[in-house]
Structure 1
């Protein structure tokens, strides 16, 4: 980017490990990690033993993030297949969620289990988390306020958990709804600066509402450990290339917002309650109906909202060389149906076996492999 340092970002992906026959969660995280020493530094166990997590390096280029995620998925997927398991990029397991998950035997996870009790017993939620570099915690708080306008659109773009306990839920992202059972949830309120944000987190911990500052479960937050903001709103993606495209879209929104702040452009004001309501509707309808613009206080057809978002950050995407990648991501969803719609279609056609094939295909792709979905599959 001419005249500006290129802002770094990173993507964390969480996956579910599902039995290759039944589709039910399978506690294979630890043996999978042990069997892949070359991936061990990039793999980690999550809250349940049927969940696995990875993260890209700190990236500047989208291709670097996509290559890291695609390579990890393919390596783990091949080993998982040998063990009768599917590495699944989906926000929730479509079946088996009525059984309490096996909590990973880490001291902190045991402490969380004791704190949240039955609210955590069925939290098979898996997501795509995006970290974007910010120059300070004050700037990060301001960036969170500016990102808020686009949160419903970002949730709709990534919604990928429509089936739970073997039945369509009527929601595109049932993961978002299940995530609302944590002690704090939804989008964070506006803060004046980083100090006010940190005082609020300190009071939540001191009061006993939160176990510690690492369990701040807002859909967006400041990182404790890195100079970043973290957007946690997205479901796990079916394909790594889409997770990478989502990551650079978030980077562009944050980057443009920070530049607008430097230029003295005020952050949009949002009526209290409107944003979380807009997120609830986005989780329900995904890209299949209308989305609420919480800054304007009005709704519009989902892909009009997507187009408005892309138009607003097109100069920044173009400056990073990401415009074609992100437009391709949106176009695949427009032509082939949202991720949630794809899951519902495959479940209707072939049941759990069809879903497992969809997940398996998304995880076994070679980096750069052509895999556009044909327009004939659109719904």
Structure 2
């Protein structure tokens, strides 16, 4: 079988005050107007004013996605600086306080805030979503379960949320722990058939619990708007190269499962429980802790599992033209994830200037790495970048 596996990538970013390094409470209408003029189709507001989301067009090659995201990151970062803000790609803001956030005044978000109450205001979290085209709806639903065992590995590679409310959490990926407060999150159920999934959605909609399937926020789900299987498990990746590597991995996995319908076709009931345990391990340890292998009933290291998986997907990567981006997943393991880098920056700066200095240094590092254009952000450059502010 041949599958084009066209795809798109959505990234959520924080808007951070360039002077205080905390998150902004209210975004200037002039900034929003400038963004809408520069990117009329690619950028949208998020539930909190301190966040913004971008989306690539439908892509057929990794090069298309790279060019789109590089332009979006660089353009938004530059516009942000003109309005006194830094653009940060990470799962949680290092120092922002959720109780100080303001909601975005949009009808859908107003309704969500009424429903979720404090949980909505605490949802100061940014993820990366990857859509891969799977034209057949039944196939998308089946793939949702079949791809579940791979989600912890993807999460481990993407971890970028070691801080919460100005404190080290002890986790490499805290974002999903906070996100789990919301209903209809986490791993999807192992439905016995596409009809079972549709019956679940139809029951919730008919009962008035949700408006449509877009209110189901699982780690992977059939998209309600597009003919795609949407990955939602990953933290927002700070480095563009990490985003593209994980997108290539996910795209190759979808292609592989489509071309090999026997793989994970009959997952036992325990598979979801084991995947859930591995999700915790990925959150806690990132790439440094082992993941449980149900086949060997042993703990496997992330580098070993990744090497094995990349070898399995080599043919798919060649077919899709993304071998180099898939191989770049190994660089994440070799260099460390964003969470590793954030913690290293924090400890070094804290040793020189204390907790506040450590958090500020992390924000500066995130701003530099998010830009994707080689420009280094530092406090010393602020007057020139921001004008006379």
TM-score between both structures, scaled by the size of structure 2: 0.88
Describe the superposition over 1:266-305 as per-residue Cα deviations: whole angstroms up to 9, x where unpaired.
3443504222221111111111121223565532112112
1:15 and 1:89 in contact (8 A); partners too:
yes
1:162–1:173 Cα contact (<8 Å) kept: yes
Bigger shift: residues 310-319 or 279-288: 310-319
- Whole-angstrom distance in 2 between the partners of 1:162 and 1:283: 9
Q: Which residue among 7, 13, 16 is the counterpart of 2:14?
A: 16
| Residue in structure 2 matching 1:357, options 360, 364, 373 | 364
Post-superposition offset of 1:245: 2.1
Q: Provide the C-alpha distance between the structure 1 equivalents of 2:132 and 2:334, rounded to a whole number of angstroms.
A: 29
Shift of 1:29: 7.2
The one-character-per-residue Cα deviations of 1:304-359 (angstroms, maximum 9, x if unpaired) are 1221221221211122221222212322x223222111011111122122212221
Post-superposition shift, 1:93?
A: 0.8
User: Does the 8 Å CA contact 1:162/1:171 hold for their aligned counterparts?
Assistant: yes
The alpha carbon displacement at 1:209 in A equals 4.2
Q: Which runs of structure 2 are paired with 1:266-345 in the superposition (5 Å)?
A: 266-269=265-268, 271=270, 272-293=272-293, 297-331=297-331, 333-345=332-344
How far off its partner does 1:135 sit?
A: 2.5
Q: From the superposition, tell whether residues 143 and 77 of structure 1 become closer, same or farther in structure 2 (CA, over 3 Å).
A: same
Report SS of the residue matched to 1:13: strand
Total equivalences in the alignment? 365
In the aligned structure 2, how far is the partner of 1:90 from the partner of 1:310? 25
Q: Is the 1:56–1:65 contact (alpha carbons within 8 Å) kept by the matching residues of 2? A: yes
| Aligned residue in 1 for 2:243 | 243
State how far apart, in whole Å, the 1-side matches of 2:7 and 2:254 are. Answer: 10
Instruction: Point out where structure 1 has 5 or more consecutive residues left out of the alignment.
Output: 372-379
Q: Equivalents in 2 of 1:30, 1:247: separation in Å? A: 33
CA distance in 2, matches of 1:97, 1:16: 13
1:376 corresponds in structure 2 to none
1:52 alignment partner in structure 2: 52
Whether the 8 Å CA contact 1:292–1:298 is kept in 2: the answer is yes
Measured against aligned partners, the alpha-carbon deviations of 1:170-205 in whole angstroms (never above 9, x if no partner) come to 111110101111112211112233332121112233
**Segment drifting more, 59-68 vs 28-37:** 28-37
Q: CA deviation at 1:370?
A: 12
Greater Cα shift, 15-24 or 208-217: 208-217
8 Å contact kept, 1:33–1:39 = no
When residues 31 and 347 of structure 1 are mapped into structure 2, their CA distance, relative to the original with a 3 A threshold, is: farther
CA contact (8 A) 2:158 2:338 kept: yes
Instruction: Work out whether residues 146 and 263 of structure 2, in 8 Å CA contact, stay in contact via their aligned partners in 1.
Output: no
Pick which of 265-274 and 164-173 moved more: 265-274
Give the 3 Å change call, closer, same or farther, for CA 305–319 of structure 1 in structure 2. same
CA contact (8 A) 2:141 2:194 kept: yes
**How far has the Cα of 1:212 moved from its partner?**
3.6
For residues 19-68 of structure 1, the C-alpha deviation after alignment (integer angstroms, 9 at most, x for no partner) is 12322111327543311312122110011011100111111100100110
**Structure 2: tracts of 5 or more residues without a match:** 350-357, 377-389
Aligned pair 1:38/2:31, yes or no? no
Q: Take 2:223 and 2:296, find their aligned partners in 1: how far apart are those partners?
A: 29
Cα pair distance change 1:227/1:355, threshold 3 Å: same
The 1:309/1:126 distance shift into structure 2, 3 A limit, reads: same
Q: Residue deviations 1:65-86, cap 9 Å, x none?
A: 0110110000110111122211
Distance in 1 separating the partners of 2:117 and 2:85:
28
1:22 and 1:352 in contact (8 A); partners too: no
Give the match's secondary structure for 1:221. Answer: strand
The 2-side partners of 1:288 and 1:11 are apart by: 26
Matched, 1:87 2:66: no
Query: Aligned in 2, Cα 1:243/1:108: closer, same or farther, shift over 3 Å?
Result: same
The answer to whether the Cα contact below 8 Å between 1:70 and 1:240 also exists between their aligned partners in 2 is yes
After TM superposition, list the pairs within 5 Å mapping 1:160-179 onto structure 2: 160-179=160-179
